[in-house]
Structure 1
Amino acid sequence: MEYEILGLSIALLLWVAWAMRMERRHRRLEELGRLPPGQTWWPVVGNIFQLGLEPPHVSFAKLARRHGPIMTLWLGSMSTVVISSIKVAREMFKNHDVVLAGRKIYEAMKGDFGHEGSLITSQYGPYWRMLRRLCTTEFFVTSRLDAMRGVRKRCIDRMLHFVEEAGANGKNPIDVGRFVFLMAFNLIGNLMFSKDLLDHKSEKGARFFYHAGKVMELAGKSNIADFLPVLKWVDPQGIRRKTQFHVKKAFEIAGGFIKERMESIGNGEDDEGRRNDFLDVLLEFRGDGIEEPSKFSARTINVIVFEMFTAGTDTTTSTLEWAMAELLHNPRTLKVVQAELKDSLGPHGKKLEEQDIQNLPYLKAVIKETLRLHPPLPFLVPHMAMDSCKMLGYQIPKGNPSLGQRLGHRTRSENVGEPFGVPTGAVLGVEIGGLQGSAFRVYTVWIRPSDVSRGATCVSGAPDGARVDVALLRLEFSQRN
């Protein structure tokens, strides 16, 4: 009798487990049936092999033309919703911002030196809101950025001096990208530490340039461990291991500057005449100790500082390098910009200042076209659904990543001329800071954190990055005829 009761109990438990599993599967199938449309996927690998050999953002753009501005792709066992239009991006960021405010943390950023304390990858909640409050009230305020105008001018002047010095003999090639990086690095350094940190001969600068670049490169690589979680412990491509190595090395360099400040404060040697900078804000922060940390740890400060430097230097360097390369390969466009410059600055060629940019609409079109063709990062930082939601009639399951592309690739209609190769007025008169206009309407760089609440953390160094496009002109035309 006892065996019969035991057998019935086991059978009942198995039946309940089977029923619960089938119910979950049924609900899952219902959710999948309402997912956005997408390419037919294969078992295990999903759509990976259907993306081809082109860069992912190029493949996604082609698929978006076939399946629409919101589509589902299966990257291995991970379903991902890809956003590729302004309308859907606006719906996502404005109407579903909170529920889609989670962050998908990829394997590359997991480890001892990763995402904990991060401004960019922190999950939505009290800690993230506290960081955003610091950004809006202390970091990216107009008065602080306007006060840096003289520093920006000095950093650009020094960069030009380094370039001229490197090309003095007229024979050796000039690594312009490194000089632009040093300019941007010192600009962020003045925001963070109130001083220039590196010069063009600095070995420390060369090492940080290398390690920060490798982190950005590895973060942009497709990692099979993200798509097939069973492989994450193996790290078959070594991406997590390599990323953690380069992040650690970059942390050591950035951490050295933080250590110097803390030691000078501890020894009473800090400059009393120095203005309050970002590092002071981080060191002096005091939270409630409940939902917020009572103060920032050295590790958290290190992470935030590293993100400020990488987001503010690599993106600026990449954009200016590509803009110069495109102009050199399009002489007709270069002549148009040169003519505009001469008309604006007069026959005597006064030194270009920030306020002159407003009178150079074709230059602004060149910058926007550069961002469209060569976005510093082709994808936005991936969002993740914190709960199931419905967007534009489609179901977004809980935990589902949402990947937004840099929308400039696809928002230009076919009849709009490009500054590179077809110099027309179709893209002129568009203000890059406000991201307005019919020909280039994108969520590419968010200048003001109030514009898009969660998205504003994507580019920490954006405010000054948008103000140094003057460096392009000073570089390109300082030796003009």
Structure 2
Amino acid sequence: MDVWIVTYYLISSLIILIIVKLLVRDLRWELHGLGILGCRLKQKHLRRPPGPRSWPLIGNLFHVLWKPLHIALTTLAKRYGDLMWLRMGGDNVLVISSMEAARECILKQGRIFAGRPRRRQTVKTLLGDGRDIAMSDIGPDLKYYRRQVHSFFASPNRDNRARLESIVGMETRSLMKALDAFACSGDAFDPHYNVARVVANVLCLRTLNRRFEQVDASFHQQLRIIQDIVDSIESFNIVDVFPWLQ
């Protein structure tokens, strides 16, 4: 019995030592980063938007963990304004809470805010380090891929435009027919899969000359896989906030 007690205390002490070491290491990087940020702000006379006071290591996580995220951010925006500066663990976050500010940042300042967070472990695991078009950071590769996609779908050729318009019209009528059938039944329904099917059919008919029917089992399986990936990316992952926990 004494041996088990000694072993228990040794293992507990080792775990505590590891946690303290990780916290100290992260705190050292936090202080180093804050020092660099302070120097840059002082040198360039930059002004950050207002925001609540953050704590070491956790930042402003305690401001948003106790309520649904949209409610917590709305409450904070009433106090700090439409542009708000938060610190989530080791990441700086700019929160936009009005249509005017969003239009200014996304449309007028799109080149500045077009980047993606590459440090997220979820994106690295599911999307190959964010090398796809949706999650890749702004750069020469993304610009090239987007240019190719845009040139393909927005071809100046009159026949290509007419074919695309025909595909969109056909799939729109298919969607309206499906929605009418659901509405006539008088029951509640989720149009998610029908809308997704129409969008997928427009893309697949334009690129692969193939369309999916509403009862296609393989198509519904692909939709579920995509939805699972999206849900995983949108979900909270503690490793994304504290990378040193990996």
- TM bracket, shorter-chain basis: 0.5 to 0.7
Rounded Cα–Cα distance in structure 2 between residues aligned with 1:152 and 1:77: 45
* Structure 1 Cα separation of the partners of residues 69 and 161 of structure 2: 35
CA shift in 2, pair 1:59/1:31, >3 Å: farther
Task: Kindly indicate whether the alpha-carbon contact (under 8 Å) linking 2:61 and 2:89 is maintained by their aligned counterparts in 1.
Answer: yes
Deviation at 1:103, TM superposition (A): 1.9
* Residue identity matched to 2:51: G
What stretches of structure 1 of length at least 5 have no aligned partner?
1-21, 234-481
1:155 to 2:164 alignment: no
1:124 aligns with 2:138: yes
CA distance in 2, matches of 1:151, 1:183: 10
**Which residue in 2 is equivalent to 1:77?**
90
Instruction: Rate the CA distance shift 1:78–1:117 in 2: closer, same or farther, 3 A.
Output: closer
Contact 2:82 2:98 in 1 (8 A): yes
Instruction: Give the match for residue 223 of structure 1.
Output: 237
1:47 correspondence with 2:60: yes
Deviations 1:387-414 (A, max 9, x none): xxxxxxxxxxxxxxxxxxxxxxxxxxxx
1:192 pairs with 2:207: yes
Give CA deviations for 1:203-250 in whole Å, capped at 9, x if unaligned: 10121121112222222212221111112x2xxxxxxxxxxxxxxxxx
Higher relative contact order (CA 8 A, sep 6+): 1
Equivalent positions of 1:376-387 (< 5 A) are none
For 1:62, which of 62, 75, 78 is the aligned residue?
A: 75
Q: What SS is found at the alignment partner of 2:195?
A: helix
RMSD (Å) for aligned C-alpha atoms: 3.4
The 3-state SS of whatever aligns with 2:132 is coil
More helix by share: 2
Q: Distance in 2 between matches of 1:66 and 1:113?
A: 37
Gaps of 5+ in 2: 1-30
- Select the residue among 99, 121, 135 that pairs with 1:107: 121
Q: In structure 2, what residue type is equivalent to 1:40?
A: R
The question of 1:177 aligning with 2:192 is answered yes
| Count of paired positions | 209
Aligned-pair CA distance for 1:110: 0.5
User: Residue in 2 aligned with 1:317?
Assistant: none
Instruction: Give the distance between the partners of 2:180 and 2:107, measured in 1 at CA.
Output: 47
Which residues in structure 2 correspond to 1:27-426 (within 5 Å)? Answer: 27-31=36-40, 34-89=47-102, 91-93=104-106, 97-105=110-118, 106-111=120-125, 113-140=127-154, 144=160, 147-162=163-178, 170=185, 174-196=189-211, 198-231=212-245, 233=246
Q: Secondary structure at the match of 1:81?
A: strand
Letter in 2 for 1:182: R
* Equivalent position amino acid for 2:115 in 1: G
Q: Distance in 1 between matches of 2:105 and 2:191?
A: 38
Residue 42 of structure 1: SS of its match in structure 2?
coil
SS at match of 2:125: coil
- 2:37 maps to amino acid: R
Distance 2:165 2:213 in 1: 20
Within 2, Cα distance between the matches of 1:141 and 1:58?
43
2: CA distance, partners of 1:100 / 1:159: 35
The one-letter amino acid of 1:83's match is I
Q: Alpha-carbon deviation of 1:174?
A: 5.0
Cα contact 2:123–2:130 (8 A) shared by 1: no
Q: CA deviation at 1:39?
A: 0.8
5 Å-filtered alignment, 1:4-19, equals: none
How far did residue 53 of structure 1 move? Answer: 4.1
Per-residue displacement from partner, 1:309-364 (whole Å, max 9, x unpaired)? xxxxxxxxxxxxxxxxxxxxxxxxxxxxxxxxxxxxxxxxxxxxxxxxxxxxxxxx
Distance in 2 between residues matched to 1:96 and 1:212, nearest whole Å: 30
Contact 1:163 1:174 in 2 (8 A): no
Distance in 2 (CA, whole Å) between partners of 1:211 and 1:107 is: 19
Question: What is the SS of the residue equivalent to 1:103?
Answer: coil
Given the two structures, how large is their TM-score scaled by the length of structure 2? 0.68
TM-score (norm 1): 0.38
1:188 maps to amino acid: L
**8 Å Cα contact 2:83/2:96 also seen in 1:** yes
Q: From the superposition, tell whether residues 96 and 133 of structure 1 become closer, same or farther in structure 2 (CA, over 3 Å).
A: same
Distance 1:164 1:88 in 2: 38
Q: How far apart, in 1, do the equivalents of 2:140 and 2:34 lie?
A: 34
